[in-house]
């Protein structure tokens, strides 16, 4: 029996080759069922540079977001030639290219959290600060100043823009001790001095600051505060030199949890736990400092014979 173009096949007849089954009908024998529409996972946008070695930057951010069960999206700000030994070159993208990427994602897909990383010039810092200030989503600002190997990633002329434009737009700022000194002049050598560092960064306007004390001796202790509440986060220090990408990973993990609607203390506490495990499982690559393991939760579950699940 034939059918006219666009009409449904007669009852009991097979659909034409290559056509979709009628709504509600059973799939053909041996074919996979058509999945129902699923809600999208939380969406997080990273605005950062590329690390060609895959340990830090955009690459670390997206791996972290995948591991924590959110949908990662990216705005590329710079390209670096980078490996386990250091940064051999860096090329900043034009501001208009950065702005276009951001608008493309936010205006169509939308975001539930934003994370910033390498922003190497004052012009770029100002443009990104303006974009995130106008976005209705929490922003995690990692004020990247130097790479793990000591290579400068932020022009000295951009420091004032970070202080006066980027930090005021931050829900959480996550400087390490070198970045605290670079931004505020406060040099921390003991745990007791973390409060002074936090107060100095909060004076620039972020809602919360996480001062990362990983460069101190003893326990890996960080201080999270908004000037009223204090949360001291402690973890054992792992004897592992392969820690490339730690700061990017932590900031992205915080953003991933904020995108789920968690409070800042909840998000930071969970992110600290994740990055501590990633450091413990860091591995050697090349002839220098290897990366943290963003997939450590999956590898641990696999080794234990447990089903792998993100989030």
Q: Which residues are catalytic?
A: 212, 243, 245-248
In whole angstroms, give the CA distance from residue 175 to residue 199: 13
Cβ atoms of 209 and 201 closer than 8 Å: yes
CA angle at 114 for the pair 119 and 122, rounded to the nearest 5°: 20
Beta bridge partners of 74: 46
- φ/ψ (deg, to 5) at 260: -85, -5
Instruction: Identify which of 134, 142, 127 has the alpha carbon closest to the alpha carbon of residue 172.
Output: 142
- Residue 211 contacts by C-beta under 8 Å, 6 or more apart in sequence? 175, 177, 180, 188, 194, 197, 198, 201, 222, 223, 224
């Amino acid at each position: 029996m034939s059918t006219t173009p666009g009409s449904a096949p007669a009852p009991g007849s097979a659909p034409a080759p290559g056509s979709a089954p009628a709504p509600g009908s059973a799939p053909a024998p041996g074919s996979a069922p058509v999945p129902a529409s699923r809600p999208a996972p939380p969406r997080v946008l990273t605005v950062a540079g590329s690390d060609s070695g895959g340990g830090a930057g955009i690459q670390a951010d997206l791996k972290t977001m995948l591991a924590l069960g959110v949908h990662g999206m990216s705005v590329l700000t710079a390209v670096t030639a980078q490996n386990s030994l250091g940064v051999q070159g860096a090329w900043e993208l034009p501001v208009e290219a950065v702005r276009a990427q951001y608008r493309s994602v936010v205006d169509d897909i939308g975001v539930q959290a934003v994370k910033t990383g390498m922003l190497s010039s004052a012009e770029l810092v100002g443009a990104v600060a303006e974009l995130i200030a106008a976005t209705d989503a929490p922003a995690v600002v990692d004020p990247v100043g130097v790479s793990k190997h000591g290579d400068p990633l932020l022009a000295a002329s951009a420091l004032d823009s970070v202080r006066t434009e980027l930090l005021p737009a931050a829900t959480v700022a996550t400087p390490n001790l070198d970045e605290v000194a670079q931004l505020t002049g406060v040099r921390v050598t003991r745990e007791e001095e973390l409060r002074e560092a936090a107060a100095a960064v909060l004076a620039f306007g972020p809602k919360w600051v996480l001062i990362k004390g990983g460069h101190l001796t003893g326990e890996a202790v960080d201080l999270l505060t908004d000037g009223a509440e204090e949360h001291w986060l402690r973890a054992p220090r792992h004897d592992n030199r392969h820690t490339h990408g730690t700061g990017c990973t932590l900031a992205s993990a915080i953003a991933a949890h904020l995108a789920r609607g968690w409070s800042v203390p909840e998000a930071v506490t969970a992110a600290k736990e994740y990055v501590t495990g990633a450091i413990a499982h860091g591995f050697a690559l090349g002839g220098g400092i290897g990366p943290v393991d963003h997939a450590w939760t999956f590898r641990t579950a696999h080794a234990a014979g447990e089903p792998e699940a993100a989030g």
